[in-house]
Copies of this chain bind each other. A is one copy, B any other.
Amino acid sequence: MRHSEGMTSEQTPTATSVLLIDDHELIRTGLARAFERDPSMTVIGQAGSVAQAMAAYNALRPDVVVTDVQLPDGTGLDIVRAIRQHNQTVGLVILTMHSGDDQIFAAMEAGASAFVGKDAPSREVVSAARHSAISPRTFLCSGLAGAMMRRATDDRPRLSEREQEVLALLAEGLGTGALAGKLYMSESTAKTHIAKIYQKLGATNRAQALVTAMRLGLLSSVNP
């Protein structure tokens, strides 16, 4: 293990131990610096590859592992999966450049505790690490809120009350007739509403309408 120089000053005996993984020396150092500022956290090791990371993890058994996604011999997700498989209580923080939705999703599925973009302030990484130590099975995600906000600041089409009701039933796979029955309207009316929904969502059929609606979060109130 080459990268074990990250030993900072001795902290409180209960300090949370952290293992940093990134293939850039510079970033590791920057992170270590950030962690130094929090007396409750101690960086006990660093690694620059998946292989090194696994070795360091097994040797050091840190409370939290903070890892980049892209590494020379694999990805941070591999590390997360490997570690999570055997340890449900360690904090696993994914650090990444590209915070696409898929990545976030993949991180969750791999068993990460948190997902932080590299554009986030470093104190956020520290905070995420601390939180992940406390509750490793809570998912924390910087950037997600941003995506949501972009959505909430809204140029989304606004569906009327009735249209939302219709949409909700469409989502359950009901046919025009059944839907109309449930809402006490004629089939014609239902069709009109549906057509209006298509128009507002830029859809030409149920499939498109529902996918668009879900992507835009217009179906948030529905739970079968």
The count of residues in chain A whose C-beta lies closer than 8 Å to any C-beta of chain B is: 56
Question: What are 16 contact pairs spanning A and B, CB under 8 A?
Answer: A101-B223, A102-B221, A105-B217, A109-B217, A109-B220, A120-B138, A121-B135, A127-B134, A135-B142, A137-B149, A138-B141, A171-B208, A173-B203, A206-B206, A207-B210, A214-B214
Chain B: which residue is nearest A137 at the CB level?
B145
List residues of chain A with CB under 8 Å of any chain B CB.
100-102, 105-106, 108-111, 113, 116, 120-121, 123-124, 127-128, 130-131, 134-135, 137-146, 148-149, 151-152, 170-173, 175, 203-211, 214, 217, 219-223
Q: Which single member of B109, B138, B170, B173 contacts A151 (CB below 8 Å)?
A: B109
Chain B: which residue is nearest A223 at the CB level?
B102
Residues of B within 8 A of A145 (CB): 108, 113, 137-139
- Copies of this chain, complex-wide, total 2
Known interface pairs A134-B123, A207-B171, A207-B173; A101-B141 also in contact (CB < 8 Å): no
Determine the distance from Cα of A110 to Cα of B211 in the docked complex, in whole angstroms.
22
Q: Which single member of B135, B207, B223 contacts A170 (CB below 8 Å)?
A: B207
Contact A139 B137 (CB under 8 A): no
